[in-house]
Chains A and B, each alone.
Chain A
Amino acid sequence: MVEEEGIRRYIAHGILWIGIAIVAFPVYIAIIASTQDNALIANGQMSLLPGGHFFEVYYQTIFVGTSGSTREPVGNMMLNSLVMALAIAIGKIAISIISAYAIVYFRFPFRMPIFWIIFITLMLPVEVRIYPTYKIVADLHMLDSYAGLALPLIASATATLLFRQFFMTVPDELLEASRIDGAGPLRFFWDTLLPLSRTNMAALFVILFILGWNQYLWPLLITTRDDMQTIQVGIRKMITTTDALTEWPIVMATAVLAMLPPVFVVVAMQKLFVRGLVETEK
């Protein structure tokens, strides 16, 4: 171990705590603002200590919504976000794991072209093909629907590549063994490969859930009905251009509620999160 004088160690602790404070400050302000009176905030008189309106603000946010701009309960927006995030995460894992299975464990004509067709999608985020995708979803009558929200975001290769990578490391003996036991391809997949992939699936789920929950541009375009808004879209509509009308405590409570599920997932499932993040970037 390299010599590490006590003073340097204190400096390291100090810098880390300053860093943490800088990182946490905007969120602290949001939490504080969500417990205060709107008139006080609008005057620029906001206190840096918690106010007494916590229950009333959160009750109104979750069950009623803003009285001016969107009039949609944020509880409902969260439900939409949840359905979309789960659909993206589960849908992507499901279609990717079976296509990776086919590509690794079978030889069939057009195997490599199919692999490349899927692989290329890795490169282009939905933002660069946004209007044509919008038109297709509109033609399929999927505007304002959960399918329309989720399907275009499922069309990407990250998960397929990850599972392919993992399947390549699974020893061949396992397949031989289950074949001797008389198992066919589906049985082998279900009884052997799926249980082995559990950690990979969980890590991927954590990342995809966060990405899905945080989608913005796509839901903004394809949802027109208030009751189909996701929370990310809803919060933007709450900030009215005429500042005087913005109900800041509710906006901040919505911000807190929008952060809560993904931040909880990151903190509670930190190991899986780090693993998923590193593996999807490889």
Chain B
Amino acid sequence: MQKQAIFQSRLLPYALVAPQLAIVLIFFYWPALQAVIQSFLLQDAFGLSTSFVWFENYVDLFRDAAYFEAVVRTFVFSFAIAATSLSFALLLAVMADKPLRGSMLYRTLLIWPYAVAPPVVGVLWIFMLHPSLGVLSRYLRNMGIDWNPLLNGDQAASLIILAAAWKQISYNFLFFLAGLQAIPKSVFEAAAIDGARPMRRFWTVTFPLLSPTIFFLLVVNIVYAFFDTFGIIDTMTRGGPGTSTVTLVYKVYSDGLLGGNLGSSAAQSVILMVMVIVLTGIQFRFVERKVTY
């Protein structure tokens, strides 16, 4: 795709792209390159000398049980967050897609959590479900559950999944609603004339026609769970108790900052980069072509 009508100028176009090019080169390519280089280096304990160690940092990572656990944990979190948030949002979107009075109001009241920052989400949820002072914890304890996410790793993990899913509902809701509204109403009418009941209409007509949206949102939610959960985890559990809520991004952060192990942190960054590139590639490939029938 190219424009036919264009301007002639030798220097102006370079001047126009220069600011963005400079920022991208200095703050994107240079650090990304540094991460790759650093991942092949090993620094001694005092930071006095570094040596080139080939893939040692990577090999160490793959041998490290803690890293393997973090990989598994990140994927479990991602799918749990995506499943929770997508199903809840889909239910709400299907309801809001009906010709109801006040549907604009419903939309407004459901989309604002998009604007809440991850660390604030963390603060809100830990306060609500705090073991000693949370308003909901009382009820959990009355129900006989020994609720303490600050000591119990599984409870901490489920709390993070819930909070992260909560924030993502509004985003998923908006895209589901747009997807539903793009389906021509005549398709439903045809199914209704054929005698399909509403539940059946949903599973045989709506759901398949929504599959491109569902797939797109699945990828977006996984990327969200990889990166944006950092703020939630950091304010809620700081990776604890133990390491039961340490995800890949959290590990890059804590190994680099607290542990001072920059070579390993860089190798982890590079692995994350590859993962994101793969995810984005999948998204481009399938969303561009659409999941068709």
Contacts and interface: CB of A to CB of B under 8 A. Distances in A.
Contacts, number: 293
Interface stretch (B43-51, B59-67, B69-77, B95-103): B95-103
A82 interface: no
A140 B273 CA distance: 25
Contact of B95 (A15, A33, A48, A151): A15
Interface stretch (A58-66, A68-76, A195-203, A264-272): A264-272
A16 B23 contact: no
A64 B61 CA distance: 46
B125 interface: yes
B276 A128 contact: yes
A155 B23 contact: yes
A121 interface: yes
B113 interface: yes
A232 B120 contact: yes
A280 to B, nearest CB: 11
Given A102-B16, A131-B265, A267-B108, A235 B133 contact: no
Nearest to B102: A13
A215 to B, nearest CB: 8
Interface in A110-158: 111, 114, 117-118, 121-125, 127-133, 135-137, 151-152, 154-157
**Chain B facing A: main interface SS:** helix
A156 B117 CA distance: 20
Contacts of B156: none
A91 B143 CA distance: 53
A133 B277 CA distance: 19
A175 interface: yes
B235 interface: yes
B20 interface: yes
Q: Which residue of B133, B178, B185 has the most chain A CB atoms within 10 A of its CB atom?
A: B133
Contacts of A46: 133, 135
A227 to B, nearest CB: 19
Contacts of B266: 131-132
Contacts of B169: 23
Contacts of A137: 27
B19 A98 contact: yes
A199 B16 CA distance: 22
A232 B231 contact: yes
B276 A16 contact: no
A133 to B, nearest CB: 4
A151 B108 contact: no
Contacts of A90: none
Contacts of B209: none
Contacts of A25: 128
Given A46-B135, A104-B3, A105-B3, A262 B231 contact: no
B96 to A, nearest CB: 6
B189 A2 contact: yes
Given A102-B17, A131-B256, A263 B115 contact: yes
A255 B124 contact: yes
Could you say which interface size class chain B belongs to?
35 or more
A251 B125 CA distance: 13
A29 B124 contact: yes
A216 B230 contact: yes
Contacts of A135: 31, 34
A20 B106 contact: yes
A185 interface: yes
Contact of A105 (B7, B108, B130, B265): B7
B112 A3 contact: no
Interface string B15-43: 01101110111111111111100100000
Given A2-B185, A105-B7, A266-B111, A216 B117 contact: yes
Contacts of A232: 117, 119-120, 231
Contact of A255 (B10, B118, B120, B272): B120
B215 interface: no
A42 interface: yes
Interface of A: 1-4, 8-9, 12-13, 15-16, 19-20, 23-27, 29-30, 33, 41-44, 46, 48, 94-96, 98-99, 101-108, 111, 114, 117-118, 121-125, 127-133, 135-137, 151-152, 154-157, 160, 167-168, 172, 175-176, 184-186, 188, 210, 213-214, 216-217, 220-221, 232-233, 235-236, 239, 243, 248, 251-252, 255, 258-259, 262-263, 265-267, 270, 273-274, 277-278, 281
9 contacts: A23-B169, A29-B128, A102-B16, A118-B20, A128-B252, A131-B252, A154-B23, A155-B23, A263-B112
